[in-house]
């Protein structure tokens, strides 16, 4: 979805985007095609020498001057192989854990991103770091000037745990919400089309005593966020969307690359960090959520601190930098993305 945000921003400048993938899902393909994005399926193993060769050939055929690589499996050799074939490479990264970086640019849009993570990089590799470069999709642009009115009591709770939620954390949260003693509590659940626990979630919904609405593969995510009072979210890119929509958030780590993000948001007092999903118990979730629900000043503080991190113009900033590197915008930018990247 963050690659889609970059593709949309490029389209808005009059360009075209091609997504090259070895794996995908039906819902992802449908979303990309609805955005007039071309999809090319590569018949090879991701991160292989052949992958780099085929991706480079595709970029040449498209007339692309940049290949944007997003996926945790792409290693230094892959970056170097693309460059040896004459490609300019932007690598989207979250962790700084690669042994070396050869890309022309490394983009890490997370709050904890810093230059020390990328000491092992070429001298010519430039860094784009921090939430100023957060890649938010086009549907969020209309909300950049919107201002939330903070309710005295936060009765509307949004559960949004990412596209797949492999650990079925959404169902656990929904079941736990019934232990929260707030009259009139309303739950809204947003799940991705790739969620494998749909049947389990439907059972939890049928057993939920209060008001609950479930949205699957919803396109108007900012609309849902605008209608909620507080959110429980995975610690990925959704946090920056919530920040823009001024939603006080409780964040949960569901993958290793999210742990430092959740910790950094908590240090900035921009979110309440609930820690790892597999260590979270019902009592802690209930206590933390009730504290946020009843404390309007706390919610306003969380909103202010989070909103100061994000202005929604990150994708355009990235493209401005890429365009300056060649003097004028390219006609096509190719995104190399894989399942697992956000």
DSSP letter string over 321-342?
HHHHTTSS--SEEEEEE-BTB-
Model confidence at 339, in pLDDT bands (50, 70, 90)? low
Percent of the chain with pLDDT over 90: 77
**Are 9 and 129 members of one domain?**
yes
The pLDDT of residue 330 is above 60: no
Model confidence at 326, in pLDDT bands (50, 70, 90)? low
Q: Which long-range contacts (CB under 8 A, 24 or more apart) does 317-323 make?
A: 317/128, 317/132, 317/133, 318/6, 318/9, 318/90, 318/107, 318/128, 318/133, 318/135, 319/6, 319/9, 319/10, 319/13, 321/105, 321/126, 321/128, 322/66, 322/90, 322/105
- What's the predicted TM-score (pTM) here? 0.91
- The secondary structure of 46-94, three-state, reads CCCHHHHHHHHHHHHHHCCCEEEEECCCCCHHHHHHHHHCCCEEEEECC
DSSP string, 222-284: HHHHHT-SEEEEESSTHHHHHHHTT--EEEEE-SHHHHHHHHHHHHTTSSEEEEEGGG--HHH
Model confidence at 209, in pLDDT bands (50, 70, 90)? confident
Evaluate whether 277 touches 253 at the Cβ level (below 8 Å).
yes
Tokens of 119: 């000491």
pLDDT mean over 312-336: 76
The CA distances from residue 265 to 119, 170, 216, in Å, are 24, 21, 27
Model confidence at 335, in pLDDT bands (50, 70, 90)? low
DSSP-derived secondary structure letter, 131: G
What is the reported pLDDT for 55?
97
Predicted confidence (pLDDT) per residue in 120-158, tens digit = 999 999 999 999 999 999 999 889 999 999 999 999 999
Cα separation, 228 vs 210, whole angstroms: 16
Model confidence at 219, in pLDDT bands (50, 70, 90)? confident
Closest by Cα among 224, 217, 264 to 247: 224
What is the reported pLDDT for 332?
62
Predicted confidence (pLDDT) per residue in 263-279, tens digit = 999 999 999 999 999 99
pLDDT mean over 155-166: 88
**Are 103 and 195 members of one domain?**
no
**Are 199 and 222 members of one domain?**
yes
- Rg (the chain; Cα; Å): 20
Give the CATH number for residue 228.
Answer: 3.40.50.2000
**Are 150 and 246 members of one domain?**
yes
**Are 151 and 131 members of one domain?**
no
The pLDDT of residue 217 is above 90: no
The pLDDT of residue 18 is above 50: yes
Evaluate whether 65 touches 330 at the Cβ level (below 8 Å).
yes
Percent of the chain with pLDDT over 70: 94
**Are 302 and 221 members of one domain?**
yes
Q: Which of 19-23, 84-88, 123-127, 208-212 has the lowest mean pLDDT?
A: 208-212
What is the reported pLDDT for 337?
63
**Are 162 and 272 members of one domain?**
yes
In the block, tokens 């999709």 appear at 137
**Are 77 and 184 members of one domain?**
no
**Are 155 and 258 members of one domain?**
yes
pLDDT mean over 39-48: 94
**Are 316 and 213 members of one domain?**
no
Does 342 fall in a domain?
Answer: no
Cα separation, 175 vs 168, whole angstroms: 11
At 170, is the secondary structure helix, strand, or coil?
A: helix
Residues contacting residue 112 through CB under 8 Å, at least 6 positions apart: 260, 261, 263, 264
What is the reported pLDDT for 342?
45
Evaluate whether 19 touches 7 at the Cβ level (below 8 Å).
yes
**Are 62 and 130 members of one domain?**
yes
Model confidence at 162, in pLDDT bands (50, 70, 90)? confident
pLDDT, averaged across the chain: 91
**Are 161 and 241 members of one domain?**
yes
Domain count, the chain: 2
DSSP-derived secondary structure letter, 184: T
Residue 112's domain comprises 2-139+311-337
Give the CATH number for residue 55.
Answer: 3.40.50.11190
The pLDDT of residue 2 is above 60: yes
Predicted confidence (pLDDT) per residue in 98-116, tens digit = 999 999 999 999 999 999 9
């Amino acid at each position: 979805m963050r690659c889609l945000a970059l593709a949309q921003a490029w389209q808005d400048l009059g360009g075209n985007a091609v997504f090259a993938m070895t794996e995908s899902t039906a819902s992802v393909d449908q979303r990309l095609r609805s955005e007039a994005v071309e999809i090319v399926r590569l018949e090879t193993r991701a991160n292989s020498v052949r992958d780099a060769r085929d991706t480079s050939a595709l970029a040449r055929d498209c007339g692309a001057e940049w290949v944007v690589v997003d996926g945790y499996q792409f290693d230094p050799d892959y970056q170097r192989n693309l460059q040896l074939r004459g490609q300019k490479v932007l690598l989207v990264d979250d962790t700084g854990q690669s042994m070396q970086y050869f890309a022309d640019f490394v983009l890490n849009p997370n709050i904890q991103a810093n230059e020390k993570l990328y000491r092992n990089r070429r001298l010519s590799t430039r860094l784009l770091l921090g939430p100023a470069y957060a890649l938010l999709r086009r549907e969020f642009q209309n909300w950049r000037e919107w201002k939330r009115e903070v309710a005295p009591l936060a009765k509307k709770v949004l559960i949004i745990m990412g596209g797949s939620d492999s650990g079925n954390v959404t169902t656990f949260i929904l079941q736990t919400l019934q232990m929260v003693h707030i009259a009139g509590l309303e739950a809204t659940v947003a799940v991705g089309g790739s969620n494998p626990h749909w049947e389990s979630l439907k059972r939890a919904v049928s057993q939920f005593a209060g008001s609950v609405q479930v949205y699957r593969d919803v396109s108007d995510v900012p609309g849902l966020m605008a209608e909620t009072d507080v959110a429980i979210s995975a610690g990925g890119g959704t946090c920056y969307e919530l920040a823009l929509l001024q939603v006080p958030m409780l964040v949960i780590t569901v993958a290793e690359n999210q742990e430092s993000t959740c910790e950094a948001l908590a240090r900035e007092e921009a979110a309440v960090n609930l820690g790892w999903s597999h260590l979270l118990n019902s009592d802690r979730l209930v206590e933390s959520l009730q504290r946020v629900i009843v404390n309007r000043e706390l919610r306003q503080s969380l909103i202010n601190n989070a909103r100061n991190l994000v202005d929604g113009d990150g994708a355009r900033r990235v493209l401005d930098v890429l365009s300056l590197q060649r003097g004028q915008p390219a006609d096509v930018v190719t995104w190399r993305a894989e399942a697992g990247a956000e």
